[in-house]
């Protein structure tokens, strides 16, 4: 109640609503709403995908942990498989200008083409607003939101922190498992895991 009041006061006085949400998102609670520009310059809001499961994938093209999932095609395969099953896959770039992984829309599209990625959209978040809203810590850091807008997964891409693509088959694929469970109408059995990777390059 106090936190809500605090938020309300802040939002009323200065429009800092995004920053006011100090608490990390919680499993089983509504996922924080956001709206930003994608790599094609279009405005994208979480609510655009109401009714669909949504995956948020924090990325940084220069980060070796991200490269480890893209080099062997593992991330692209996940994107293709699940967007094919009606999931909206939103790749988010929160690197601040001048830091590793920062790209403009054209740069993001070039990266997507070059690595053969298949996200639904690439969201540009150079101010880190969405990153802080979700408390995204690493690249990759993965979130899954169900069709009702509830956060059902927050954590790592898999169980084995590594920068070596050869390690991927040995890891427990947390995100894949969670999506399979979600699409089968089952509760996600491991909704919270430790994300691993490079720190998100906030300003």
Residues in the site for other proteins, rule: CB under 8 A? 6, 9-10, 13-16, 19-20, 23-24, 26-27, 62-65, 99-100, 127-129, 135, 137-138, 154-155, 161-164, 192-199, 201-203
CB of 51 to other proteins, least distance (A): 27
CB of 52 to other proteins, least distance (A): 25
Question: Residue 140 CA to chain centroid, in angstroms?
Answer: 8
CB of 127 to other proteins, least distance (A): 5
Q: What is the distance between the alpha carbons of residues 109 and 132, in angstroms, rounded to a whole number?
A: 24
Structure token digits, residue 153: 């997964």
Nearer to other proteins, 29 or 52 (CB): 29
Nearest to 129 by CA among 50, 21, 7: 21
The SS3 of residue 181 is: helix
In this structure, are strands 121-124 and 88-93 parallel, antiparallel, or unpaired? parallel
Nearer to other proteins, 31 or 198 (CB): 198
Q: What is the distance between the alpha carbons of residues 172 and 168, in angstroms, rounded to a whole number?
A: 8
Nearer to other proteins, 64 or 147 (CB): 64
CB of 83 to other proteins, least distance (A): 26
Nearer to other proteins, 115 or 129 (CB): 129
8 Å CB contact between 74 and 59: no
């Amino acid at each position: 109640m106090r936190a809500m009041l605090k938020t309300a006061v802040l939002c009323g006085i200065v429009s800092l609503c995004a920053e006011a949400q100090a608490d990390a998102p919680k499993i089983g609670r509504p996922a924080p709403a956001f709206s930003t520009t994608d790599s094609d310059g279009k405005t994208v809001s979480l609510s655009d995908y109401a009714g669909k499961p949504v995956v948020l994938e924090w990325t940084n093209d220069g980060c070796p942990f991200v490269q480890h999932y893209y080099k062997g095609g593992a991330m692209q395969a996940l994107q293709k498989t699940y967007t094919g099953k009606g999931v909206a896959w939103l790749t988010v770039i929160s690197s601040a200008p001048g830091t590793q992984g920062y790209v403009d829309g054209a740069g993001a599209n070039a990266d997507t083409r070059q690595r053969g990625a298949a996200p639904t959209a690439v969201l540009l978040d150079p101010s880190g607003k969405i990153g802080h809203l979700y408390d995204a810590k690493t690249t990759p850091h993965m979130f899954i939101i169900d069709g009702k807008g509830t956060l059902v997964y927050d954590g790592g891409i898999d169980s084995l922190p590594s920068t070596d693509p050869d390690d991927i088959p040995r890891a427990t694929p947390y995100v894949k498992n969670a999506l399979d469970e979600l699409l089968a109408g089952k509760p996600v059995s491991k909704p919270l895991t430790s994300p691993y990777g490079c720190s998100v390059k906030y300003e």
